[in-house]
């Protein structure tokens, strides 16, 4: 394989720490914070897939709206009272607070140093995310990463979410670097899998010590933090 000339990152869970959400959820729903954060994340991803597979994407809605819908579902799943007393039970306030937290996620501790390291090595850097442009813009600014990213690519123009090939194709179209010379980095194993199928070089950041998907393909490298991106490049 050729040495990568560009590195594209998934955003939520990969550059931005979505797990911190569990702390606020725990305050709001004592004893349920971790379960709520997991269910919300799973449902958010499920909604992107339902939209992408149903009627060729005809029901597309921006990721922010799907994230809101997924949180509404999650609150109703965990707290049945919310199904009938959404307003009276104060659930709209909890929903708003959690969405506010989601809008201003922190980067992981190593995020800045790694992006800086890519700059020093002369590589192009970018995000390729299911997020819509507005929420991505806010996330990038909140984490102070604007100056370190050459491209912030949303799937919105194709109105299909990853893992649709039309979504992955936006990366090379924006950077001018073919997928085979681009390292795609994600902490989501399904994202690393599908990016490998698409033709990227791939690094799965296995933050949770999970097994990889059992679908017959492995990413080119498995790491445990974004620092493994630099290790991959220096060895390539």
Q: How long is the chain?
A: 236
Residues in contact with 236: Cβ distance below 8 Å, sequence separation at least 6, in sequence order: 1, 3, 4
- Name the E strands within the chain: 6-9, 124-129, 151-154, 182-186, 201-205, 221-223
The Cα–Cα gap between 72 and 211 comes to: 29
Contact residues for its own copies, defined by CB under 8 A:
42, 46-47, 49-56, 58-59, 61, 69-70, 72-73, 76-77, 80, 83, 160-165, 190, 193-194, 197-198, 209-211, 213-215
Longest dimension (CA), the chain: 59
- 173: number of CA atoms within 13 Å, CB side? 12
User: How near is the Cβ of 196 to its own copies at its closest, in Å?
Assistant: 10
Angle at 233 between CA 227 and CA 236, to 5 degrees: 140
Q: CB-wise, 14 or 52, nearer to its own copies?
A: 52
Q: Is 150 among the residues known to form the active site?
A: no
User: How near is the Cβ of 33 to its own copies at its closest, in Å?
Assistant: 18
Whether the CB-CB separation of 201 and 182 falls below 8 Å is answered with: yes
User: How near is the Cβ of 122 to its own copies at its closest, in Å?
Assistant: 31
Q: CB-wise, 3 or 59, nearer to its own copies?
A: 59
User: How near is the Cβ of 98 to its own copies at its closest, in Å?
Assistant: 14
Q: CB-wise, 5 or 35, nearer to its own copies?
A: 35
Q: CB-wise, 89 or 137, nearer to its own copies?
A: 89
Residues in contact with 167: Cβ distance below 8 Å, sequence separation at least 6, in sequence order: 128, 130, 155, 158, 160, 161
Residues in contact with 90: Cβ distance below 8 Å, sequence separation at least 6, in sequence order: none
Q: CB-wise, 42 or 85, nearer to its own copies?
A: 42
User: How near is the Cβ of 91 to its own copies at its closest, in Å?
Assistant: 12
**10, 132, 191, 228: which is the annotated catalytic residue?**
10
Residues tagged active-site = 10
């Amino acid at each position: 394989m050729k040495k990568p000339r560009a590195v594209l990152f998934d955003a939520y869970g990969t550059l931005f720490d979505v797990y911190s959400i569990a702390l606020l959820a725990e305050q709001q729903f004592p004893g349920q914070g971790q379960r709520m954060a997991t269910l919300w994340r799973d449902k958010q991803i499920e909604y992107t897939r339902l939209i992408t597979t149903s009627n060729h994407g005809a029901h597309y809605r921006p990721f922010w709206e799907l994230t809101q819908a997924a949180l509404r579902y999650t609150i109703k799943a965990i707290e049945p009272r919310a199904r009938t007393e959404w307003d009276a039970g104060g659930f709209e306030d909890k929903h708003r607070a959690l969405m506010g937290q989601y809008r201003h996620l922190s980067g992981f501790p190593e995020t800045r140093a790694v992006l800086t390291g890519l700059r020093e090595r002369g590589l192009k850097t970018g995000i390729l995310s299911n997020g819509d442009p507005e929420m991505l813009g806010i996330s990038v600014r909140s984490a102070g990463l604007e100056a370190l990213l050459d491209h912030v690519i949303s799937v919105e123009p194709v109105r299909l979410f990853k893992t649709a090939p039309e979504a992955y194709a936006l990366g090379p179209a924006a950077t001018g670097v073919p997928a085979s010379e681009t390292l795609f980095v994600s902490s989501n194993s399904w994202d690393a899998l599908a990016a490998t199928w698409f033709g990227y070089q791939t690094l799965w950041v296995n933050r949770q010590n999970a097994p990889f998907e059992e679908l017959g393909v492995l990413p080119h490298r498995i790491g445990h933090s974004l620092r493994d991106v630099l290790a991959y490049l220096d060895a390539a």
